[in-house]
Chain A
Amino acid sequence: MAEVLLEVKNLTKHFPITRGIIFQKVVGLNKAVDDVSFEIHRGETLGLVGESGCGKSTLGRTILRLLEATSGEVWFEGREILGLSYHEMRELRRDMQIIFQDPYASLNPRMTVGDIIGEPLLIHNLATGKALEQRVKELLNVVGLSGQHARRYPHEFSGGQRQRIGVARALAVNPKIIICDEPVSALDVSIQAQVINLLQDLQKEFGLTYLFIAHDLAVVKHISDRVAVMYLGQIVELTTKGELYDNPLHPYTKALLSAIPIPNPEVKRDRILLEGDVPSPINPPPGCHFHTRCRYARPECSEAVPEWKEVNPGHFVACHLVK
């Protein structure tokens, strides 16, 4: 197994909920990410799936320190990064990049594509003048656009093309890891495949590591090596793609997988329908967060927080029922 590139230890992000205008009082905590631990190996793609609002995006942004963590550690290449100073972090940003979900909101409408892709080169002193122009052209070619596009503005491109520009911007600094925050969720299905193939090609070409956040299980299955399943701010199961899809252990994972449409009407299947809504992360249920919707819930589930344990080699799950 390849070396560990990024390690997240007990990462927690709580958003305080405040009342009052001048004298603010914390009246609650939104536990968006709650005690999450996992590793990403160099060169792999770790998929991160979960329902809307389960904290996937917050987790990604906290790792990049776009949000400051409440507690926990993030180790990148043997360095703890949550404690780094602004300047150390700025240097490190060349190694860690992000691609966003919304191809319309993620590009500054007042900058040309060349300026957008050139900005990281400029601020990190990677290139100037002619060399910068040349590098921007290269990057555009790498993501399947033409060098001529550098003079255009984002509104002149389609969603898929814009997403390619976002990818080129992230690639500009030669990152080691890219956090893909639902990079294809906002795209048409036909375009999704193109962008995913592009991401896979780039991974091979530049040896990139991805944390691929998505809610589409089919997409995650296609691109990931390992998959982590998140529910209400916690990772409930993490294992290789094959193991997860063939032998899911956590009841939540089972329910999610049973919801993947199978394009064959003849196949009979048991869909596990989850009842009720996702509870609010502001006051998550005690014990196992999932017990309110779990068909197998036992008394202990609402009392004790399930332990994060390795049931098979490389297969982690947090559930009282799995021994």
Chain B
Amino acid sequence: METKQRKANANIKAKATKPAQAVNLEELESLSYLQMAWRKFRRHKLAIVGAIMTIILLILAIFAPLITPYSFEELDLGNMFAPPSWDHIFGTDELGQDVFTRILYGGRISLLVGFASAFTAVVFGILIGSLAGFYGGWLDNLLMRFTDMMMTIPTLPLLIVLSSLLGGSVANIILLMIIFSWMTTARLVRGAVLTFKQQEFIEAARALGVSSGRIIFRHLLPNAMAPAVVSATLMVGGNIIWESSLSFLGLGIQPPTPSWGNMLSRAQEYIWTAPWLAVWPGLFILFTVLGFNFLGDGLRDALDPRSKLG
């Protein structure tokens, strides 16, 4: 009986000397949310593939003038429809322009449209979503019914009408993309804000006298950013497809400015005689959208706090 007692005491003493363990804990690195996300992301093979794909595209687009010796407007009428060769690795088109060069410069336009429109649309969506979610009530009702309305509008017909009215400059295309792509982000962010708004750390902040603005920016948005980042990534790919579709229909980017869409459009006529004219822009659209979707999926898993560090 007494020995048992003594053992128990020893146990208590062992527990009392906990500081030693605490010191060990200090040596372990402390992982912030972003560090955790990065670790999860690194282990996601598809995400890494997606990241590499997008990085390659970005490098090709940014350094286009250094990569290709030709300019995208340079005509060589003596060398039309040249099949791929060492001089023109992707061949030339009906005006003797180097297809590889036009792909690179077209990539600049496509990526610019994709990034600029997705970024602005996501910022706008975050604004609408967080206002609706945080303030609730009639404001929520108003903003969300507006969002619903925008979502129910058939996008393609309206895009066609608007772009033919406004004209197909790059700025106009970006503007149109923004108008038609902020809604999903707004709904996602609203949902996330609603979930986190109920949590006690928001009540704690209010009990401490933290202002509404600070609650939104310091407490709610950092927690609600994950779905917004994911939707932004997927949106880049989506908007590149939209831009290509519009340009393909002749309503987007106008030649001579190259875009993958208008290259495809011009290639239709020559699909049997010079198939490389259609294959390359098609492949690049595929490659880009796939890259962004892989990246988005990876980010979704990495940023999800419920997924464990595998």
Complex contact B31–A98 (CB within 8 A): no
Query: Which of A94, A108, A156 is packed against the most chain B CB atoms within 10 Å?
Result: A108
Q: Which residues of A contact B210 (CB under 8 A)?
A: 119, 123
Complex contact B209–A151 (CB within 8 A): no
Contact with A along B150-179 (1 / 0, CB 8 A): 000000000000000000000000000000
Complex contact A120–B200 (CB within 8 A): no
Q: Which of A34-42, A99-107, A284-292, A314-322 contacts B (4 or more CB under 8 A)?
A: A99-107
Contact of B22 among A93, A96, A146 (CB under 8 A): A146
Which A51-73 residues sit within 8 Å CB-CB of chain B? 61, 64, 66
Contact with A along B201-223 (1 / 0, CB 8 A): 10111111111001000110011
B307 in the interface (beta carbon within 8 A): no
Complex contact A106–B201 (CB within 8 A): yes
Chain B contact residues: helix, strand, loop or mixed: helix
In the bound complex, CA of A106 to CA of B203 (Å): 8
Contact of B209 among A94, A106, A148 (CB under 8 A): A94
A106 touching B204 in the complex, CB below 8 Å, given contacts A90-B209, A93-B209, A151-B30: yes
B84 in the interface (beta carbon within 8 A): no
Of all chain A residues, the one with the shortest Cβ separation from B206 is A66
A152 in the interface (beta carbon within 8 A): yes
The smallest C-beta distance from A168 to any residue of chain B, in angstroms, reads 12
B87 in the interface (beta carbon within 8 A): no
Contact of A123 among B33, B214, B219 (CB under 8 A): B214
Complex contact A105–B199 (CB within 8 A): yes
Complex contact A100–B204 (CB within 8 A): yes
Chain A contact residues: helix, strand, loop or mixed: loop
Complex contact A22–B22 (CB within 8 A): no
A45 in the interface (beta carbon within 8 A): no
Of all chain A residues, the one with the shortest Cβ separation from B30 is A152
**Interface residues of B, count at CB 8 A:** 25
Range of interface residues on chain A? 35 or more
Q: Count contacts between A and B, CB distance < 8 Å.
A: 76
A106 touching B200 in the complex, CB below 8 Å, given contacts A21-B141, A90-B209: yes
In the bound complex, CA of A96 to CA of B214 (Å): 20
Complex contact A100–B203 (CB within 8 A): yes
Of all chain A residues, the one with the shortest Cβ separation from B210 is A123
Of all chain A residues, the one with the shortest Cβ separation from B34 is A110
Complex contact A22–B141 (CB within 8 A): yes
Query: Which of B33, B199, B208, B305 is packed against the most chain A CB atoms within 10 Å?
Result: B208
Contact of A166 among B204, B206, B218, B222 (CB under 8 A): B204
Q: Which residues of A contact B205 (CB under 8 A)?
A: 108, 119
The smallest C-beta distance from A29 to any residue of chain B, in angstroms, reads 18
In the bound complex, CA of A112 to CA of B32 (Å): 8
The smallest C-beta distance from B224 to any residue of chain A, in angstroms, reads 10
Which A118-167 residues sit within 8 Å CB-CB of chain B? 119-120, 123-124, 146, 148, 151-153, 156, 166
Complex contact B209–A109 (CB within 8 A): no
B26 in the interface (beta carbon within 8 A): yes
Of all chain A residues, the one with the shortest Cβ separation from B202 is A108
Q: Which residues of B contact A110 (CB under 8 A)?
A: 33, 222-223
Given contacts A90-B209, A153-B31, 14 further A-B contacts (CB under 8 A): A91-B209, A93-B209, A96-B207, A97-B207, A98-B203, A98-B204, A102-B200, A109-B223, A111-B218, A119-B208, A119-B218, A123-B214, A148-B22, A153-B32
Interface residues of B (CB under 8 A from A): 22, 26, 30-33, 141, 199-201, 203-211, 214, 218-219, 222-223, 305
4 nearest A-B pairs in the assembled complex, by CB-CB distance: A106-B200, A93-B209, A90-B209, A100-B200
Could you give 22 example pairs across A and B, Cβ below 8 Å?
A22-B141, A61-B203, A89-B209, A91-B209, A100-B204, A101-B200, A102-B200, A105-B199, A105-B200, A106-B201, A106-B204, A108-B201, A109-B223, A123-B208, A123-B209, A123-B210, A124-B209, A146-B26, A148-B26, A152-B30, A153-B30, A153-B32
